[in-house]
Amino acid sequence: MDGSGMPTTCSTCPYCGVGCGVLLRPDGHGGLDVKGDPDHPANGGRLCSKGSALAETVGLDNRLLTPRIGGQQASWDSALTLVADRFRQTIADHGPDSVAFYVSGQLLTEDYYVANKLMKGFIGSANIDTNSRLCMASTVAGHRRAFGTDTVPGTYEDLEEADVIVLVGSNLAWCHPVLYQRILAAQKARGTRIVVIDPRRTASCDTAEMHLPVKAGGDVPLFNRLLVRLYEGGALDKEFLARVNGFDDTLRAAYADDVAATGLDADLVERFCDLWMRNEKVVTIFSQGVNQSSAGADKVNAILNCHLATGRIGRPGMGPFSVTGQPNAMGGREVGGLANMLACHLDLENSEHRGAVRQFWQSPAMPEAPGLKAVDMFRAVGEGQIKALWIIHTNPAVSMPDADRVRDAIAGCDFTVVSDITDQTDTARLADVLLPAAAWGEKDGTVTNSDRTISRQRPVLPIPGEARPDWQQLAEVGRRMGWHAAFDYETPAEIFREYAALSGIAGRFGKDFDISLWAALDDRGYAALRPTRWPVTVARQGGRFFADGQFYHPDGKARMIPVTYRAPAAKTGPRYPFRFNTGRIRDQWHTMTRTALSPRLSAHLAEPYLDLHPNDAADLGVQPADLVRVRSPGGKQSILRARITADMQPGDVFAPMHWTGETAPSARIDALVAPVTDPVSGQPESKAGVVAVERLKARWYGFAVSSGTLAPRAEYWARARTRTGYRAEMAGLNAVSDWESEARRLFDLPDAEVQMVTDVSRNMARIAFRDGDRLLAALFVADEPVAVMRDYLATVPGTDAPDILTGRTPSDRPDPGPVICSCFNVGVNTILAAIEDEALVSVDQVGAALQAGTNCGSCRPEIATLLSRAKLREAAE
């Protein structure tokens, strides 16, 4: 409780795998007050921009509140009966492998457990896979090959105790911002040295002493070179190597590999190797630049090889560290959410394990072979082998490679069920049955973060309408399919206890994932559960793994895996000369169904884009703010805004993954990504496609702001929330003859008072609609990318804005420019002006002057970049 009288609840942020603790207090009007939990071990009170903006995303605006069958509102009873009947009938007609679940690393452990139990234990198929296949599968495979188990050895404290942190294919500053802040704090205190290995220069490079712009896929030869240097430099740990198999073969492979494939300057590689060799306390953090590759598992093992050979694992301040993407990516792996796992780190293909789980579940049938992995699963949907599909908490029509084909496959499936919190997603629009889920803030359960800490998500808001938690939906279908006793759960605590008990069986098989001490946790204990790192047994709680040389292969030893360079599957050539890299931006979460509801998160980067190097832009005749058309060998295309930046290597382009049919239909970039997968892990190669790029000369370009509806109709458009309504970018290939009526349709303002200047021959129009003095909406059209002060215009709907048609700020108000600090709404121009006028030289000084960067700190790397650019300019003058 605090002064306001409303109780404060400890919960966990629903976004990334850092798993920050939050303190939540309902404001009594459906809203929330959100703060970092100072007592949570992951964040110690910090939150990033996304966590800080959570309150802006819990409104009911776009929520799905009732079940729907064929688009029509339906009762739960009829929807669930239909789901159970159709699944049962399909299984009766075509066997258990004709149905599938596609789930998510954002499900709570309890949801995941029930889904896995229903599919593997009762339906009797292993056709349950998860978006973690697109995310963590290569790490899972790499860990299992090396350790005999999928276990992250270290803890977050290691990041603070390390002398060197190597980020491989990880943009930690934007994707795990609170961990990045923890590292920066340690850097201040102890001078931690940071190395970034990434084809792009990212925000994570700002405090790094070395950036290795590796060629896509060049990580294996880089770490092979490191292994050779460790060997030649006498840095191996002979004693530890007695606990490791495969050293000789692995070293031979490393010698045979070609470091030239890294594309890196030889000196830089040697400096990196020296740094790694001379500092025992090295943590190698890796993420999607490693995992999302057709050589993903090999990349993971190339990294693990170096840590195993030097015994730098599981000791304070050192070790390989896979950071998980989603809030419960780790929990899903523990619970067996992948098609090739059982539960509690038990193996589906091991008959003893299977027998034990079968007995525990009292299950009628268990599959003996792995089910279909994500890419194959949707292929099977497309080919009609999967006839009933349930998609829960994920948006595959956007996020899967070959996304248009996946969308068509889902649309063509005989029976598709989608559980989501909104009907406004590219996937939900395809559902035969749409089930409304309880959302974060309403749900109750547990998640496991990147360092094995299990935390509670607790409800503070009432579940709106008829929405229900995912576990309830699954359990109810299980009961209606005839397995009453097995799915007779009333609370998440019951599910958690059952899961904890099952982990005890895994523990008896010598598995590491054991939380059996909690099998006896009563409801009050579950309600009060504090963040706890597993294992949780009588013998042991938390801690690190593997420093003792005890691994989980049958002989108790680890394995080094010989790996050599394999180029990305797609080759660049004259027709598709660019390497197509994809990933994330600071303030959006995946397909934007929640973060795009927040005006301040939408202000950071309001439009989808393609980053390309200045030389490439010059060759293509692309100017800043031009649009480009991006084409894939698969015959798909996207239209994106060009951003010209020396952060890219020539020949590489990068696009963010976030935009969808809802926010920018021409920017569904996964339509361009080929469904190529790693042969070991089945993870798609989402970061190394090939594309052609050309300048797109549109007939007209538009920018619009509105306090109400904004429904663009054009070859290119992108829409974002603002504090006053919406803003949108547009571009069309065909002339528009009557801009006033087009604008009236765009804003749905058939009768509003209009103010305008147009020149049809020049494709020029400036149109404003008013209600008396109040500006409702405005549209600016030109025959080249519209030059108006966007960030200012986004603030004017609802005000009088008398001079709106100039598209510029009144002379006494400078244009703040795109938002850098979303907490305090500080734009880039404001920061640049302060740096220059007040001769600011540090991020802290910028904070003192403008507040920017003083709350969540997520923008501090960008402020640092602005400062260093100002310094460079000064030096050049």
Ligand X SMILES: Nc1nc2c(c(=O)[nH]1)N[C@H]1C(S)=C(S)[C@@H](COP(=O)(O)OP(=O)(O)OC[C@H]3O[C@@H](n4cnc5c(=O)[nH]c(N)nc54)[C@H](O)[C@@H]3O)O[C@H]1N2
Distance CA 431, CA 433 (A): 5
Q: Which of residues 425-484 bind ligand X (CB under 6 A)?
A: 425, 437, 439, 443, 470
Among 13, 592, 691, 859, binds ligand SF4 (CB under 6 A): 13
Query: Does 19 participate in binding ligand SF4 (rule CB under 6 A)?
Result: yes
Q: Which of residues 121-180 bind ligand SF4 (CB under 6 A)?
A: 176-178
DSSP state of 63: B
Chosen from ligand X, ligand SF4, Mo ion, none, partner binding at 199 (C-beta under 5 to 8 Å by type): ligand X
E strand or H helix at 528: helix 523-528
Query: Does 601 participate in binding ligand SF4 (rule CB under 6 A)?
Result: no
Chosen from ligand SF4, Mo ion, ligand X, none, partner binding at 153 (C-beta under 5 to 8 Å by type): none
* β pairing state of 700-706 and 164-168: unpaired
Query: Does 289 participate in binding ligand X (rule CB under 6 A)?
Result: yes
Distance CA 224, CA 303 (A): 8
C-alpha gyration radius of the chain = 27
Measured from the Cβ of residue 614, the count of other Cβ atoms closer than 10 Å reads: 14
Please state the closest distance from residue 417 (CB atom) to ligand X, in A: 11
Distance CA 405, CA 386 (A): 15
Residue with structure tokens 């998980």?
324
Query: Does 16 participate in binding ligand X (rule CB under 6 A)?
Result: yes
| Strand positions, DSSP E, 230-365 | 244-245, 282-286, 319-322
Residue with structure tokens 């809203």?
31
Please state the closest distance from residue 519 (CB atom) to ligand X, in A: 26
Among 497, 584, 629, 790, binds ligand X (CB under 6 A): 584
Phi, psi dihedrals of residue 448, rounded to the nearest 5°? -115, 130
| Strand positions, DSSP E, 352-495 | 388-392, 415-420, 433-436, 445-448, 453-457
Are 110 and 457 a contacting pair, CB within 8 Å?
Answer: no
Please state the closest distance from residue 423 (CB atom) to ligand X, in A: 10
Quote the distance between the C-alpha of residue 559 and its chain's center: 30
Query: Does 661 participate in binding ligand SF4 (rule CB under 6 A)?
Result: no
Query: Does 325 participate in binding Mo ion (rule CB under 5 A)?
Result: yes
Distance CA 101, CA 110 (A): 16
Chosen from Mo ion, ligand SF4, ligand X, none, partner binding at 178 (C-beta under 5 to 8 Å by type): ligand SF4
177/396 with CB nearer ligand SF4: 177
Query: Does 63 participate in binding ligand X (rule CB under 6 A)?
Result: no
Query: Does 20 participate in binding ligand SF4 (rule CB under 6 A)?
Result: yes
Among 18, 295, 521, 560, binds ligand SF4 (CB under 6 A): 18
Q: Which stretch binds ligand X (CB under 6 A): 67-75, 584-592, 719-727, 775-783?
A: 584-592
Q: What is the token pair recorded at 465? A: 């309408």
Please state the closest distance from residue 438 (CB atom) to ligand X, in A: 6
Phi, psi dihedrals of residue 597, rounded to the nearest 5°? -75, -15
Nearest residue to ligand SF4, scored by beta-carbon proximity? 51
Please state the closest distance from residue 64 (CB atom) to ligand X, in A: 9
Query: Does 857 participate in binding ligand SF4 (rule CB under 6 A)?
Result: no
219/442 with CB nearer ligand SF4: 442
Among 16, 126, 135, 285, binds Mo ion (CB under 5 A): 135
Distance CA 32, CA 25 (A): 6
Look at phi and psi of residue 553 and say left if phi exceeds 0, alpha if psi is from -120 to 50, else beta: beta
Quote the distance between the C-alpha of residue 413 and its chain's center: 27
Q: Cis before residue 535, ω within 30 degrees of 0?
A: yes
Q: Which stretch binds ligand SF4 (CB under 6 A): 18-26, 727-735, 774-782, 836-844?
A: 18-26
Phi, psi dihedrals of residue 425, rounded to the nearest 5°? -135, 160
649/724 with CB nearer ligand X: 649
Q: Which stretch binds ligand SF4 (CB under 6 A): 14-22, 636-644, 801-809, 815-823?
A: 14-22
Q: Which of residues 91-110 bind ligand X (CB under 6 A)?
A: 104, 106
Query: Does 788 participate in binding Mo ion (rule CB under 5 A)?
Result: no
Among 9, 15, 197, 486, binds ligand SF4 (CB under 6 A): 15
Q: How many residues does the chain have?
A: 877
Question: What number of CA atoms fall less than 13 Å from residue 228's CA on the CB side?
Answer: 18
- 279: burial class by Cβ within 10 Å (0-12, 13-18, 19+)? middle
Residue type, 62: N
Please state the closest distance from residue 443 (CB atom) to ligand X, in A: 6
Query: Does 221 participate in binding ligand X (rule CB under 6 A)?
Result: no
* β pairing state of 609-612 and 637-644: parallel
Please state the closest distance from residue 45 (CB atom) to ligand SF4, in A: 11
Among 112, 174, 223, 534, binds ligand X (CB under 6 A): 174
Query: Does 390 participate in binding ligand X (rule CB under 6 A)?
Result: no
Are 38 and 45 a contacting pair, CB within 8 Å?
Answer: yes
By CB under 5 A, how many residues form the interface with Mo ion? Answer: 2
Q: Which residue(s) pair with 72 in the sheet?
A: 69
195/506 with CB nearer ligand X: 195
Q: Which stretch binds ligand X (CB under 6 A): 35-43, 392-400, 731-739, 819-827?
A: 392-400
Query: Does 692 participate in binding ligand SF4 (rule CB under 6 A)?
Result: no
Chosen from ligand X, ligand SF4, Mo ion, none, partner binding at 214 (C-beta under 5 to 8 Å by type): ligand X
Binding site for ligand SF4 (CB under 6 A): 13, 15-16, 18-20, 43, 47-48, 50-51, 176-178
